[in-house]
Structure 1
Amino acid sequence: MDKYEKVKKIGEGSFGKAILVKSKEDGHQYVIKEIGIFGMPSKARQESRKEVAVLAKMSHPNIVQYKESFEEGGSLYIVMDYCEGGDLFKKINAQKGLLFSEEQILDWFVQICLALKHVHDRKILHRDIKSQNIFLTKDGTVQLGDFGIARVLNSTVELARTCIGTPYYLSPEICENKPYNNKSDIWALGCVLYEMCTLKHAFEAGNMKNLVLKIIRGSYPPVSVHYSQDLRSLLAQLFKRNPRERPSVGSILDRPFLYCRIERFLTPQRPAPGSIPLAQKITKPATKYGVPLTVRKVSDAAKKPAERKPVVKNKPVSRLLK
C-alpha cells in the first residue's frame, strides 16, 4: 500500500472494503478492493492468485480496468480504475421515483451485455451481477466491475455465507442449491434490467424464506406498459425459471431493437468523408471489443447488381461480436 495514499472508504461490498486512493507515482485516483484472506487454505489462496491473473488480462471499454494486485498483512488488494460517475444503484436511487427513458435504459443495457459477452466468451462467469457492480465513468460510459472475485472466494464457504448479503439477484437454480452457470448470470442481468425499468428489485420479501419462494416461482410485479413490448418480452425471457430457456448474451444482442444500438458503441467519431475506407472505420474500434479484423472479400460475381442479395439488417454486428 506504500505506493498509494488513502483518500476515503467508498464502500463495503460482499467480500471486503473499497477504498479510494491516489497513486503517489502518477497522481491518478484508483479504487482498491481490500479482501481479507487471512486463514484461507493455501490451495484457495493459490486459486485466488490465478483468478486475479485472469482478471488482469481483461481489457474491454465496458469493463472496469484492473491495474494490479498484491497481498499484504493477510489481505488481498486489487487495484482498479475509479469510475467517477458512481454506480448504477446510486443512480437509480437518485431518481426519486422518476422513471428512466427507454432510450437511456437500452443504451446502458447494451453496454452491460457487451461487457458480459466479453466475460462469457472467455469461459468466465461473473457471479455477482447487480446494480452496485455496474459503474459509470465521467463521460457516462457503463463499466462492469467485480467479476470473478466472488468465484475466487467461494472456496471459503464460511466467508460466502457470512458475506452474501440480501440475495435479490439469486437465480431459482441457486436457491434450489443447483450449480451456477452462465444462465445464472443472465437471470441477474434480468434483475438489473428490471431495476432500471421500475427503480425497484424484481423480487422482494420481508424474510429470506419468502424471497426464495418468490424467486423460485419467478413471480414479479409487471413492468409499466410505458415501456415497449420488445423490452417487456425480453425481461420475461431473462426471467425464465428453467435456465436452458434463458437466452445467451449473444442472442440477446441479436435482437433487432438492441442490435441497432451496438454500432454507436463500436464506432468512434466519424472522420471526414472519404478519408478512411468504411471497413477500417468499423474494424479499428471493434478491436477493443474483441471483434476480429478480418473482412470478407466479395467476389466480382457477387458485386453484379442482378445477383446482389438483400442486406440482412439484424445480424452483421452480432456475427462480428461472436
Structure 2
Amino acid sequence: MKKLTRLFTRNNRIVEDDEPWRFTSVVRRLRGIPSPEKPKKLKSDGEKKSLQTVESRLSIEERICNENSAQTDDNVGRITVATDATEYSEFKLDLSPEILAKANDYRYDKCLGQGQYSTVYRAWNTRHNKPTAVKKVVLTRLSTHELNLCRNEIKLLQAVKSPYVVRLLDNFVENYGEVLCIALELMDGGDLEGQLDYLRGNGRLFGERSVWFYFHQICCGLLALHENRILHRDLKPANVFMSGNGRCKLGDLGMSRMIGNRTKNVRTKCGSAFYMAPEIYGIHGYHFKSDIWSLGCLLYEMCTLCPPFYEQSSEYALCKRITSARRTPLFPPYYSKYIDYFIDKCLQLDSNKRPTIEQCQSAAVKMQQVFQSNITKRQIHR
C-alpha cells in the first residue's frame, strides 16, 4: 500500500478521502482480485479517461518497479527491495500533451511485420514529410521482462549514432500510455533472412563479392556497437536490415547490453540458439568475442544458406555440436579458401583466439578491394 500511494502521489494523482473506491479498484486490478461490487458511475468522459490513464500508468510502472527496485546485497547474498520513491522516477511514462500530440504526426500505411510482442508498420511522418517505420508495443500485455527489453532497446539506440545501425527517430505513446510507439529509420528492403529465403527458393547462392560487400557493412555496424561498449548478443540474419539500394544495417537491440569498463564477463544466457557462442553455455561467462562467433556463423550462412551448426533433434544435440565446433566446409569451387579460413578463425572454441571486430572489418575491406580490382581467386592466395 505504501508503494502504491507513492506512485499516486508522484504522478500528481492523489486519491481523495471521499472516493476510496478508486484506490481499492486499482489494487484489485493489480492483484487480480475480482471486484465484489460495481463502482459508482463517473460523471463525465473526462473523469473516465483520467482514471484509465492513472490505472494504465500504475500497472505499467508497478511491474517495472517490482523488477528493477530489487537490488542484490553482495555481502549477505540476499535481495533487498528499495523503498525510496526516487528509485521509480526513471521508469515514469511521459504523458504530457506534447508527447501525446506526436501520434498525430504519423499516418500508417501497411504492416511490415509482427514479432513476439510488437507490430511494425510503414508510416509517413507528416511533420518531416518522409517515410518511417513505427514499432507499436501494447505495454499492458507485456511481462516485466518484455517491458525491460523495450526500455533497453530505446536506451541503446539513443546511445549509438552510426550509418550502419538502424537509427531511432522518435518514441511516443498512444491510447493514454497503453501503446508505446518507436519510430525508426525505414529499411524498405526487408532483412537478410528474407534475402536468404529468396535464394533458397530459387536455388541460387550469393557471389563472393556480394558476401564481402554485406559482411563489411555488418562489421562496421558491430564495430560501432563495440566502440560504445555494447554487446549485441543476438546477431543473426533476421536482425540485419536491408535498404532498397542494397545497403544493410544492424537493428533489434532488445537483447543487447551495455558493459561497464570493470565488467569482465556476462553470464546471462540469451540469443538465438544457432548463433550462440559455446562460452554462453558455460559457467565462466562471455564477452565481446561471443559476437565474433555469431559473426562467423552469419558469414557461413551467407555462403551456404544454412547455419553452420544446424541441428533439429534436440537442444542438447545442438549444444554438443556447437561446443565441439563441428561444421561442414564450404563449397571449394564456388568460394575462395580465404573465406573458409576466415570463418574458421571466427569459430575458434577459445574466444581469445578469435579476431577482434577491428580485424574483421579490416579483412572485409581488403577482400572488397580484391574483388573490385577484378583479381582472380587464384591470385588471392599467392
TM over 0.5: yes
* Per-residue deviation, 1:232: 0.6
Alignment of 1:176-215 (within 5 A): 176=282, 178-206=284-312, 207-215=314-322
CA shift in 2, pair 1:48/1:254, >3 Å: same
Q: Would you say the 8 A contact 1:56–1:67 is kept in 2?
A: no
Query: Which has the bigger relative contact order, CA under 8 A and spacing at least 6?
Result: 1
Alignment of 1:1-322 (within 5 A): 1-13=103-115, 16-35=118-137, 37-38=139-140, 49=151, 52-72=154-174, 73-95=177-199, 96-147=202-253, 149-151=254-256, 167-176=273-282, 178-206=284-312, 207-225=314-332, 226-255=334-363, 258-259=365-366, 261=368
**Aligned-pair identity (%):** 28
Q: Would you say the 8 A contact 1:15–1:150 is kept in 2?
A: no
The structure with the largest alpha-carbon Rg is 2
Q: Distance in 2 between matches of 1:51 and 1:84?
A: 21
Q: Distance in 2 between matches of 1:83 and 1:115?
A: 15
Q: Distance in 1 between matches of 2:287 and 2:247?
A: 27
* Per-residue deviation, 1:110: 0.7
* Per-residue deviation, 1:105: 0.3
Letter aligned with residue 240 of structure 1: Q
CA shift in 2, pair 1:219/1:186, >3 Å: same
CA shift in 2, pair 1:216/1:35, >3 Å: farther
Q: Would you say the 8 A contact 1:56–1:68 is kept in 2?
A: no
CA shift in 2, pair 1:70/1:244, >3 Å: farther
Deviations 1:165-198 (A, max 9, x none): 8622111112235534211111111111011100
Letter aligned with residue 123 of structure 1: R
Deviations 1:204-255 (A, max 9, x none): 1123222222112111111111211111111001111122211111012233
Q: Distance in 1 between matches of 2:107 and 2:371?
A: 37
Q: Which residue of 2 aligns with 1:278?
A: none
Letter aligned with residue 217 of structure 1: S
Letter aligned with residue 127 of structure 1: R
What secondary structure sits across from 1:168 in the alignment? helix
Letter aligned with residue 215 of structure 1: I
Deviating more after overlay: 127-136 vs 57-66: 57-66
* Per-residue deviation, 1:76: 3.8
Q: Would you say the 8 A contact 1:110–1:262 is kept in 2?
A: no
* Per-residue deviation, 1:77: 2.9
Q: Would you say the 8 A contact 2:255–2:271 is kept in 1?
A: no
Q: Distance in 1 between matches of 2:271 and 2:351?
A: 23
Q: Distance in 2 between matches of 1:179 and 1:32?
A: 35
Q: Which residue of 2 aligns with 1:270?
A: none
Deviations 1:89-116 (A, max 9, x none): 1111111331111101001101111111
Q: Say how many residue pairs are matched.
A: 253
Q: Which residue of 2 aligns with 1:304?
A: none
Q: Would you say the 8 A contact 2:233–2:271 is kept in 1?
A: no
Letter aligned with residue 222 of structure 1: P
